[in-house]
Structure 1
């Protein structure tokens, strides 16, 4: 059984939940994703399970796999550049805490401008982040 909740990002949980992603994306009118992940998840083939679903549903994507443990400002800036250069209108984070943290920063700055450092503190953004869908690969995230 799989579950989804909205706060405002979406976290998919449960065996087989990734199969629901295509319909969820289409229902929201989204068209092209920046997938934020890391090289290990790409190399072991887990990201391929996600991209297969996106391909089957004719949803465009680009993969940012440069996320490092405890993401840096550079990770956010590099991911943001890839998002903008490729015309992405939403973000999928795939992995554990580091890809999720980087994706949140990318989605926030994409919608609000400036630099991720501008948002240190509470209630610093004027606009909601870009739509963000998170697929957790660890139990602790």
Structure 2
């Protein structure tokens, strides 16, 4: 099966071997270090390792944030922002389903718009001033299209609700 390239507002590679395109996308844009967001199960089963192996082969340093929870919470995003800042990374690679994508989106937008660090203020169409940190999404599930949309859902356990951010 061939690797295909599909361009909308973003670029989408799909097909066997598509993850091999990740290092080139990173280096062409001049990024130096990746912050890899994934969940513990994908790390344990070696799925995330297929992506980080490509980064290693290309000599791209990376740091892993594997504390992604199903239905990511406000704290999950805030912890991810702190880990991103501490990592010294300048871009994000999200590996997983909707939860990994949603967490990475929250991290990326707050990293560039720290005035939204409470996360709750992102609900709805937030008046952010800066684009999110450049992110490459590697979906491991199909159905939510989280890898190609600007929407993300965060859980507020205190109020027992989920809220949508755009």
- TM-score class, shorter-chain normalisation, is over 0.9
Matches within 5 A, 1:26-37: 26-37=27-38
Using the alignment, how far apart are the partners of 1:103 and 1:11 within structure 2? 17
Matches within 5 A, 1:79-90: 79-90=80-91
SS in structure 2 of the partner of residue 92 of structure 1: strand
> How far did 1:49 drift?
0.6
Q: Which moved more, 1:112-121 or 1:95-104?
A: 112-121
> How far did 1:55 drift?
0.5
Which segments of structure 1 move beyond 4 Å, counting only runs of 4 or more? none
Q: Does 1:54 align with 2:55?
A: yes
- Determine which of 107, 122, 126 is the counterpart of 2:125: 122
Give the match for residue 45 of structure 2. 44
Using the alignment, how far apart are the partners of 2:95 and 2:9 within structure 1? 17
> How far did 1:13 drift?
2.4
Quick check: 1:94–1:100 contact (8 Å CA) kept in 2? Answer: yes
> How far did 1:6 drift?
5.4
Question: Residues 4, 50 of structure 1: CA spacing in aligned structure 2 closer, same or farther, 3 A cutoff?
Answer: farther
Question: Residues 7, 136 of structure 1: CA spacing in aligned structure 2 closer, same or farther, 3 A cutoff?
Answer: same
> How far did 1:123 drift?
4.1
Q: Which has the higher contact order (CA 8 A, sep 6+)?
A: 1
Q: For structure 1, which runs of at least 5 residues remain unmatched after alignment?
A: none
* Number of aligned residues: 140
Q: Which moved more, 1:60-69 or 1:116-125?
A: 116-125
Using the alignment, how far apart are the partners of 1:37 and 1:4 within structure 2? 24
When normalised by structure 2's length, the TM-score is: 0.79
Give the match for residue 22 of structure 2. 21
Quick check: 1:118–1:124 contact (8 Å CA) kept in 2? Answer: no
